[in-house]
Amino acid sequence: MKTHRNNIIKITIAASIIFTASACRKTYFPSDKVDDIEQLTTIEGMRTATLGNYATLKSLNYENNYHWLAELPSDEVAQGQNSSSDVTNLYKYTHLVNSANATTYFQQAYYIASASNKIIKLIPDASSAELLQIKGENLFLRAMLHFNLVRMFGRPYAQNPTTNLGVPILSETVSEADAATIKRSTVAQVYDFVIADLLKASQFITDEKKGNSFASKLAAYALLSRIYLYMDNNAKAIEYANLVIGSNKFQLQQNEAYQTYFRGDPEKNTENIFAIKHTKTENYDYSAIGSLYYSGDANGNALGQGESGYGEIYASVKYYNFLNKYPQDKRKSFISPLIVNGVQQLNTKLTPAAPIYYVNKNNLQEGVINLTSPVYLRLAEQYLNRAEANAKLNNTQLALDDVNVIRSRAGIPIYLLTDVTPTHTILDIVLEERWLELAFEGHRAYDLFRNNRPMARDYPGTQSTINGSVNQTINPTDARVIYFIPQTERDKNPNLSQNP
C-alpha cells in the first residue's frame, strides 16, 4: 500500500485532525471560534457559520465514517484481506464497544448538530425570510444527522419503535448541563423529532437557487420520503416522492452522462438532490473513501493493488453476478474488474480466491482518481421509494412503472405484470432494483433489515475467517444489525444505556 501524500493533502488532513481533536473534548457542546456566539449577531455571521456546518460534513471524521458504517455491513461488498483497522470489524459484524469508526462518527455528528443548534436557537420562527432560510438549512442538517444516527445505533423502526431505544435528541433547548446527563430517546421519538425538523425546514427554505450541495425544500421532501418509507408509512412516502418528482427540477442522467454519473462536478448533475461537494483542492487521496475501493487510472481502468489506492474492498461476487445478468446494464460502468491480458485477476488471499472487482463509484471526479463528492439524495431513489411504497400498497402496476423507469435508463429489459409471481413478488422486484441502482451508496443493509429480510453473504470475503465458511447470515433481529453506543461516551454520561 502506498503512503505518499502531496503537501496539500498533508495540510488538509492535519487541519482535519486538529479540528477533530477540538471537537472530541466535548461531544455535544464544543467550543470553536468559527461558530462562536459573538459571531452570530448578524445575518452574515450566521451564513458564515452555516457554511462551516456544511464544510464539517466533508471532514474525514464525518464523511468517511458515515460511509463505512452504512456500507460495509452490506452484501454488495467483499473485504479482500483482513485489516488492522476497525474496517474489518464493521465488515464482519464483529462490532466493538470502542469502535474507532463508530465513536468518531457519533462524536462528529453531534458536534455538527450542536453547531446547528447555536444558530437555530437564535432565530425565532417569526423572523425574516433571510433568517428563516438560514434556520431552515440548519434544521435540515440537524434532521439528517439524527436520522443517520438512529439508523446506526437504534433498531429498525419496524421493531417496537416506541420501546426500543434510539439515540439522544439534541435540540436547541438542551442545556450544556442537561447534555452531560442526556438519555437515549426511543426510536419513535427520534423519528418524530426528525420529521418535525424537516417539515419546518421545508417551510422556511425559500431560496431554491442554491446548488445541490445546500439544503433545499425539495431535499427536505426527498429525505421525508425516505424516512416515511423506513416507517412503513407508504402513503406519506409516495406523497413526498411525488413532490420531488413532480417538481421537474431534477432529471435522470442518461446514457454516457449516467455511466459517468459520479465523475462530474456534482452541482452540474441534474439528478443530484443533495451531495457533499468536494472541489479538486479537497482531495483526500489515499485517505478518501474511494481509495479502499479502487486502484487504477483516471479513466476507470483497473491496475494492480496499491497503484492509486488500496483497493481492498471489492464488489462482491454475489452483486457482480446479479448485475451481470444483463451484460449491457449501464451500471456495470461503476465496476472496474482487474483484468490482465484478458484474464480476470483473482485475490488468492481469500479461500476460495475471489475475483477482484474494483468499484469506481466513489472515485474519478473531474479526472482526479480518489476525488469524490458523496451523493446523499438523488432522483432515482425517489422513483424507487415510490415503487416500494406502491408495492406494499398492492399497487403493482404503479410500482412496476417506476422500476421500469430505472431499468430503461440502465438499458435492460423492463418487467411486465406477468413477471410478478408468488415466488418473485413485486416487493422482491423493487428491492432488487434498489440493490442494483443504489449499490455502494449506503442503502442495502437498511433496505433488507427494515423489510425483515436477512443479510446473506455466500461469497468469498474475510467473513470466512470467523468460522471457516464464506457463508454468513445476519438476521434482521440480530443484535449486530446496529452498533454499540461508544463506550467513551458512556464513560462521560452514565445515562447512555448500551445496546445488547
Q: Give the model confidence (pLDDT) of 335-381 as tens digits.
A: 999 999 999 999 999 989 999 999 999 999 999 999 999 999 999 99
Is 7 a residue whose pLDDT tops 70?
no
Q: Cell 490482465 maps to which residue?
A: 340
Q: What is the DSSP letter of 289?
A: G
Is residue 351 within 8 Å of 84, Cβ to Cβ? no
C-alpha pair distances (Å), 329 with each of 247, 314, 360, 409, 413: 28, 19, 16, 9, 10
Q: Give the model confidence (pLDDT) of 424-475 as tens digits.
A: 999 999 999 999 999 999 999 999 999 999 999 999 999 988 878 889 999 9
* Cβ burial 310-341 (10 Å sphere, 16+ → b, else e): bbbbbbbbbbbebbeebeebbbbbbbbbbeee
Q: Which residue segments constitute the domains of the chain, with CATH numbers given?
A: 24-207+481-492 (1.25.40.390), 280-372 (no CATH)
Closest to 384 in 3D by CA, of 433, 445, 427, 449: 433
Is residue 203 within 8 Å of 136, Cβ to Cβ? yes
Backbone angle region of 440, left / alpha / beta, with phi > 0 → left and psi within -120 to 50 → alpha = left
pLDDT at 176: 82
Backbone angles phi, psi at 354, to 5 degrees: -115, 140
Q: Is 279 helix (H, G, I), strand (E, B) or coil?
A: coil
In the chain, the percentage of residues whose pLDDT exceeds 70 is 92
Listed in sequence order, the residues at least 6 apart from 184 whose beta carbon sits closer than 8 Å to its beta carbon are 165, 166, 167, 168, 485, 496, 497
pLDDT at 39: 77
Is 6 a residue whose pLDDT tops 60?
no
Reported pTM: 0.93
Q: Give the model confidence (pLDDT) of 199-219 as tens digits.
A: 999 999 999 889 999 999 999
Q: Is 435 helix (H, G, I), strand (E, B) or coil?
A: helix
The grid coordinates listed for 166 are 434510539
When pLDDT is averaged across residues 91-108 and rounded to a whole number, the result is 97
> Strands 354-355, 357-359: parallel, antiparallel or unpaired by DSSP?
unpaired
Is residue 119 within 8 Å of 31, Cβ to Cβ? no
Helices (H), 58-128: 60-71, 87-92, 100-120
pLDDT at 17: 31
pLDDT at 36: 62
